[in-house]
Amino acid sequence: MSALPPPELSVVELRSYFVRKRNALLVRGKFQQLYLDYYLHLMQHGIQHKEALDQMLKDTLAALALHLCSRPHDETTAWTIHVKEPQRANLFVTGSTHPGRVTGRVFTEDVKQEGEALFIAQTTRPNHPTRQSMIEFQGADVFRGVEEFYTVSEQRRTRLFRLPDEEFVQISAEPDCDEIWLTGMQLENVLEIEQDEHLTLLETRGYQFECGCSVERLLPIITRLPKEDLDHIFEDGVAQVTCPRCAAVFRTTKDQFEQWRAANAA
């Protein structure tokens, strides 16, 4: 069982602020280093995306990290976004704050979702019931999908903005928010917000692009296969296992797999 050692990962810092007199929460951060680690991951595992889908996945990773930074520390969130433009695909991202990491992948094979674009969210938290929601949204702009998710499922307004140099900003309504101000926000307002509004720093959190998967964690998937399927995937003596969360590719020989299965037999 082998894979290249993971590269040293960078941590991107996200800062959350309370916008006084507007009663809004602002989260911002620059994602160049996280995107660099994302591209190193693609190179390491020989993964290639079409340019449009690549950008959509990057946007979704940034949106998820901003969302996590605004949520309780012990939440884990997974989003699946079904899109039909530029081609039918599923974008999957997941992440948590402890540890602070996000990961994701694109599915383009056997995607059968019809109708409008869908945004499916699942949130887990210790000692709380799992929360799930699904909403439709128009078009292929994942930021608009996140904003619609907030409006329908979170029942509060949020806005996402793309700034220069891979910086992103999310502004979300808190109780008694000035929603007319929030709805009317434009990019130029966001660029000048530190001069125009009173921002109070609340917290700084760090996130990496990292899945945490390994061949040992993925082998239980193989053990559930029927014998004839096991014989097929080991036909050449080596099986390939793909992580369902980040599309990382691992390989293991039949002998190594049998040794692992024997050592982990109940």
In tens, the pLDDT along 188-208 reads 999 999 999 999 999 999 999
What is the pTM (predicted TM-score) of this model? 0.92
Report the SS3 class of residue 39. Answer: helix
| pLDDT single digits (tens) 84-94 | 888 899 999 99
Residue 79 confidence class, pLDDT cut points 50, 70, 90 = very high
Domain ranges of the chain: 12-209, 215-263
Partners of residue 78 on adjacent β-strands: 94, 122
**Domain 215-263, second-level architecture:** Alpha-Beta Complex (3.90)
The whole-number pLDDT of residue 3 equals 39
Report the SS3 class of residue 46. Answer: coil
Q: Does domain 12-209 have CATH number 3.40.1000.10?
A: no
Rounded Cα distance between 62 and 248, Å, is 20
Rounded to 5 degrees, what are φ and ψ at 218?
-95, -20
Nearest to 38 by CA among 15, 72, 64: 64
